Amino acid sequence: MNNTKYIFFSGKGGVGKTTMACATAVHYANEGKKTLIVTTDPASNLADVFETEIGHKITPLLNNVWGMEIDPDKATEEYRERILAPMRAVMPESVMAVLEEQFNSPCTTEIASFDRFVDFMVAEKEGKGKKYDVVIFDTAPTGHTIRLLELPVDWSKHIEESAKGNGNTCIGPVASIQENKVKYDEATRLLGDAERTTFMFVLHPEETSVYETKRSSKELKEIGVKNVELIINGMLPEEVCEHPFFKSRFDMQQKYIKIIESDFPIKIRKMYQRNGEITGVERLLNIEKDLFFNSGKQTYSIPEGTGGNGELLKAEFDNFIPDSIDKIITPNGKTKSIFFTGKGGVGKTVISVVTAYKFANEGYKTLLLTTDPAAHIGEVLEQNITDHIQEVKGVENLWSVIVDQEKATEEYKQRIVEESNSKYSEDMMVAIKEELESPCTEEMAAFDKFMGYVESDDYDFVVFDTAPTGHTLRLLELPFDYSDQVSMMVTTNQKSQDAKSVTQKRFDKVIARMKNPEQSIFSFVVYPESTPVIEAYRAMLDLKEAGIQTQFVVANQVLEPEYCTNEFFIKRRKMQEKYLGEIKERFQLPVTVMPLLESEIKGIGMIQKASNLLFNNNVKV
């Protein structure tokens, strides 16, 4: 078939989506196919893998490979200008002023990034020619990817409904974006075309990763995606797991590999964990060979010339003494919010649960909350967690809750309508109800719910398990964005201004609380590897620009020296030591450590063990 093929890579954060996507791009390029790899992840590491600058432009990377990192801010500017430019010559200044204010909505950022993504899928249909044989989408972690793929249907429907009503949407007049509906309908059709679109889930042989893949594959089926494949990544080679510690982890992985093979009757590829980082073309080629050709004869060593030799066995480890963080997060009579963020898959959920357990165990009333669309606190606690605050069984003083996007949206819509009914005319209410049907409302509703928990004084501690870095930053930027756009109203009368004033005061209070280190603590969770460290550092600087200080860093899944008895693990330990030093140097903050344990951290017993390790600053690793 001569049509462009589309391949989506997704999965739980930190499972190696970008590496697998890049290796796939190299594979098709080697076959002589023009290949474009696009990342929709707000915290992308595409440039790190290819060891070159990319940014918000199509950039040549290798022979037959081009790349692009969609920048939400630049995409927003491009989208805004494309819609508004033709109108400036014909519309009065007063009308343009209203439209330009409308386009300052945070909704525009979501639709603009999505719109840019759709452009790559419909170029042929729009008569722009076939520029690429293969387009690979390296997407954000699963929950956000599903949201992205649902948008063509949601936006097409919203444009259609708005056309029947007042002709306005939260992203501009229907007349100016009607052509987008055709584009979104075509994207929906292509997603369901099994001949042209393949969805690749990357997962680790671990329970949370398997659970998320099951849930997400079901959701994909519901939106019409038919062609799904799996890559099991990060498998431990049996021959390097002679130490009982790693043998335990190997056995755990084998159990989940059997479950995956049994539960997913689809094409499955497998990939061993490497003894070093995957950056640069030579190492990508090493991955590409195993992914496409060496299914029964894989390697787990990165190419020669990267430091692996027998001399390693004589190397001595540098002990790393973690900093104590007890003084940073000690209670002070006021409710403290603790936010854990970082790259997807670095273990934010586990660290959040373990931290909440510590406080509850010490007698402090504690709420554990997740804002991640792919929430896993229930799997870690081995309990069913819902969108209603409930006590955690087996732990006194601990409550938990999930921000459920769909329910939060319905509650938000209902509240806005109830509050507005007595204030506005019938015509105004029709416009408000139409606007509330915008897909953007979901983001606003989730933030509104999140804000309610930040404001809460019902607990000594509220521990937030947040979405991966890029989406967390977006969430935390919302009060700053909405301070200029706090009303759903489509006019600027006095009642609307009054509503804005009330909401503005609420936003100001939340902003002040998040900026106050006595009330809000921000911590980054990282693996001691290049990409998570770089991403967290960039995010820390972004938070700083917003006036929010980071207080400490958690280095997670650190190998303990006593278990590293062969070249494979010695090499990985030496790599970790390098980045532990870099974390201290870059962040200039206290760094505490969570060692890698012999099994997954699940259930109250393992949570207690992990809590003792995380908060025991006498441990040397």
Torsion sign over Cα 14, 20, 21, 26:
positive
Higher per-residue confidence, 10 vs 105 = 10
For 489-548, the pLDDT digits (tens) are 434 444 555 555 566 677 778 778 888 888 889 999 998 988 788 888 888 888 888 788
CA of 111: how far to CAs of 37, 171, 443, in Å?
Answer: 20, 8, 12
User: 65 by DSSP, 3-state: which?
Assistant: strand
Closest CA to 508 of 477, 479, 476, 469: 479
User: 529 by DSSP, 3-state: which?
Assistant: coil
What number of helices (H) and strands (E) belong to the chain? 20, 18
At residue 244, φ and ψ (nearest 5 deg) are -55, -35
Domain 5-306 of CATH type 3.40.50.300? yes
- For position 536, what pLDDT does the model report? 86
Least confident of 124-133, 192-201, 255-264: 124-133
For 336-376, the pLDDT digits (tens) are 889 888 876 778 889 999 999 999 999 999 999 887 655 67
CB 443 within 8 A of CB 316: no
For 102-120, the pLDDT digits (tens) are 566 555 665 676 677 777 7
CA of 337: how far to CAs of 131, 149, 214, 322, 408, in Å?
Answer: 49, 32, 32, 23, 21
Closest CA to 130 of 2, 243, 254: 2
Q: How far apart are CA 175 and CA 162, in angstroms?
A: 10
Tokens (6 digits) for 360:
């509850």
pLDDT band at 555 (very low <50, low <70, confident <90, very high): very high
Tallying the residues shown for the chain, one arrives at 621
Q: Where are the alpha helices (DSSP H) in 197-328?
A: 207-222, 244-263, 281-292
pLDDT band at 476 (very low <50, low <70, confident <90, very high): low
Higher per-residue confidence, 180 vs 204 = 204
For 226-257, the pLDDT digits (tens) are 888 999 999 999 999 999 999 999 999 999 99
How much of the chain exceeds pLDDT 70, in percent? 73
Indicate the pTM of the whole model: 0.77
pLDDT higher than 80, residue 425: no
Cross-strand pairs, 232: 203, 270
Query: What does the radius of gyration of the chain's CA atoms come to, in whole angstroms?
Result: 25
> Where does residue 323 rank: exposed (0-12), middle (13-18), buried (19+ CB within 10 A)?
middle
In the chain, CATH 3.40.50.300 covers 5-306, 336-614
Q: How far apart are CA 342 and CA 523, in angstroms?
A: 8
- For position 25, what pLDDT does the model report? 93
Higher per-residue confidence, 332 vs 621 = 332
How much of the chain exceeds pLDDT 90, in percent? 26
DSSP state for residue 197 in the 8-state scheme: E
Crossing angle, helix 348-361 and helix 603-614, to 10 degrees?
90
For 366-403, the pLDDT digits (tens) are 999 887 655 678 888 988 888 889 999 999 999 999 88
Spell out the CATH class of 336-614: alpha beta
